Amino acid sequence: MPHTVRGRARAQCVAVGTALPERRLTNAELERMVETSDDWIVSRTGIRERRIAPPDQGLSHLAIPAARRCLDHAGVQPAEIDGIIVATITGDYVMPSTANLVQHGIGAANAWGFDLLNACNGFVAALSAATAYIESGHARRILVIGGDIMSSVVDYRDRNTCILFGDGCGAVLVEAGSPDGHGVLGFEMHSDGGGGGDLIIPSSGSAMVASAAVLERGDQFVKQNGIVVFQQAIRRMAEVCDSLLTTLGLSGADVDLLVPHQANRRIIEPTAKRLGLSADKVVINIDRMANTTGATIPLALADALADGRLKSGSRVLLAAFGGGLTWGACYLTWGRT
Ligand code: UT7
């Protein structure tokens, strides 16, 4: 359902911090691991390389430094944070939550936290939750973190999936600001659980517990019906952007920057085209990052800040689609007022 902001405070996105593993896995290396080619990967997805974390490092190894950098940029102390929401499908553990590991790791003594499972649409969902807490007066500062260690759930023998994903993490500080200042102006979220089987990690919860048979079948790894997900993503990303802008009485002309989930360059470009946006108004970093699931949007926001395209007051449209199936969009003006 669409939602427009009418609360007593506006949720402002004021800073970003990121963390990436050092190791780069290039298409040339993948050519030596599975039957694929740099040409195929670049032409079908836009990906040239991805970052890969060491196998013994959970998401908190990235989320803690990303959170610290975000707070440094914002000039905010850890003790001033009320809440931490981590959007991820590859947290360190199911219990405790990665949000709790971050809370302890950064010394956010006054914060509660929880993890949010919404796959590639996780960051938008976490931002919508943080917005609701802030608008309702239940929190003043929330760290919204999106991150995934996708290499922990990818089968590097499966060419259909292993070329697509990477690891990374980004944190955005969301603060209560004046109701007529910068901040989140609206969002729209959707689900279609009927498509759940099209992008799934079969043995990742109570439905199929780990066993020797699971490991033999590789059911601990991500499985995707690529073409079905691709077609849905193209349709739904464009639909949700159109619908949210219409609800707000706006159009593509009111978007300074589209910051989309990075699953495939061939999904991002039609979305931008439908909105009538030129290439300079679309953030694409899939060539260097691949699909980092919960991290794509905060990593793209950080890139846009670094290259000067994202500034205080920029009118930003976030949009994502992913496993669930789930999709959503958020329209905001950037920065603190
Ligand atoms: O972030 C969550 C949401 N995820 C997405 O939005 C991803 C959506 N899906 C996609 O991005 C695309 O469907 C893929 C990139 C996964 C695949 O691209 P495609 O153009 O849809 O290819 P396809 O699945 O139709 O496969 C075409 C051919 C197949 O061969 P046959 O059956 O036609 O002989 C595949 O086996 O390409 C083959 N193929 C590959 N060939 C070389 C699949 N993966 C590879 C590969 N290298 N890595």
Of the residues 13, 120, 162, 169, which is catalytic? 120
Question: What's the CA-to-centroid distance between 21 and ligand 1, angstroms?
Answer: 26
Query: Does the annotation mark 3 as catalytic?
Result: no
- Looking at the whole model, is its pTM more than 0.85? yes
Question: Which DSSP letter does residue 165 get?
Answer: B
Residue 162: count of CB within 10 angstroms of its CB: 21
Amino acid found at 169: C
Q: From 37, 43, 227, give the residue whose CB has the most ligand 1 atoms within 8 Å, as the site to mutate.
A: 227
C-alpha closest to that of 190 among 43, 103, 292, 320: 320
DSSP symbols for 279-332: GGGB---HHHH-B-GGGHHHHHHHHHHHTT-S-TT-EEEEEEEETTTEEEEEEE
Confidence at residue 6, expressed as pLDDT on a 0 to 100 scale = 52
Question: Residues 6 or more apart from 246 whose CB is under 8 A from it?
Answer: none
Confidence at residue 7, expressed as pLDDT on a 0 to 100 scale = 58
The structural domains of the chain, ordered by start, are 2-180 (3.40.47.10), 184-333 (3.40.47.10)
Asked if residue 96 has a cis previous peptide bond (ω within 30° of 0), the answer is yes
Of the residues 27, 121, 285, 291, which is catalytic? 291
What averages of pLDDT result for each successive group of 10 residues across the chain (337 residues)?
A: 62 98 98 98 98 97 98 98 98 98 98 98 98 96 98 98 98 96 97 98 97 97 97 97 98 98 98 97 98 98 98 98 98 96
Backbone angles phi, psi at 4, to 5 degrees: -115, 150
Confidence at residue 1, expressed as pLDDT on a 0 to 100 scale = 44
Question: Residues 6 or more apart from 165 whose CB is under 8 A from it?
Answer: 50, 150, 151, 154, 222, 290, 291, 292, 293
Question: Any idea what the Cα angle at residue 206 is, between residues 200 and 212, rounded to 5°?
Answer: 80
